[in-house]
Amino acid sequence: MEGLKIAARYAQSLIELAEEKQNTDAVLEDMKYLLSTTNDNNDFHLFLNSPLIKPNKKKEVFDKLFGGFQKETLSFIQLLTKNSREMILPLIAEEFIAKLNVIRGIIPMTLTSAVKLEESVKASILAKLNEKIEGSIELTEIVDESLIGGFVVRMGDTRIDASIAHQLNEMKQRLIR
């Protein structure tokens, strides 16, 4: 919990810096890349959290790995490393993206379906959801064959499960009772 509060403060500071330098979109791309690198690579996650690796060695790795980042992003990562806060980089990236989405009125939504949905079906689902919410939707699509059919929508804490797998599970639970 404490790490999340610290991450939120750092994320807010980075947003303010990026807005001041007028390169918020580029820093956002840096944060998305950093987050995907951390999520996709367990070794990198272990590297961030290792107390055995010296800060100057971590700075070298960051410079090589993230050399194409914005100057502000690199300086920010170096500051975190200097303050021994590099282990919360993924949390900061998540907070940065979430806070920027709120500022911009963007609502991240994940649409999971058993097969790739046709554009007309996607448009219909998005139209219904747009009636209920304020802001613009940033859509991420996932195909999960275990749903059998239908779809699952996730927006923040809201989950709409219209999958066949869910309906079959509901029937099974009713029969067991």
> How do residues 3-25 score in pLDDT, each as one tens digit?
889 999 999 999 999 999 999 99
The mean pLDDT value for 24-50 works out to 94
- What pLDDT, on the 0 to 100 scale, is given for residue 177? 82
CA–CA gap between residue 167 and residue 152 (Å, rounded): 12
Strand partners, 112: 142, 152
The mean pLDDT value for 21-42 works out to 96
Cα separation values, 72 from 8, 43, 56, 80, 95, Å:
17, 25, 19, 12, 17
Cα separation values, 83 from 13, 48, 122, Å:
15, 13, 45
- Between 3.40.30, 3.10.450, 3.50.50, 3.40.720, what CATH number should domain 106-176 receive? 3.40.30
Token pair for residue 144? 């999960």
- The CATH topology of domain 2-102 is Peroxidase; domain 1 (1.10.520)
Cα separation values, 140 from 94, 137, 159, 167, Å:
16, 9, 14, 23
- What pLDDT, on the 0 to 100 scale, is given for residue 100? 97
User: By C-alpha distance, which of 61, 100, 99, 95 is closest to 78?
Assistant: 61
Strand partners, 137: 107
Token pair for residue 126? 């998005």
The answer to whether 108 and 138 are in contact (CB under 8 A) is yes
Give the global pTM.
0.83
Q: What are the structural domain ranges in the chain? A: 2-102, 106-176
Give the mean pLDDT of the chain.
94
Token pair for residue 177? 């009772």
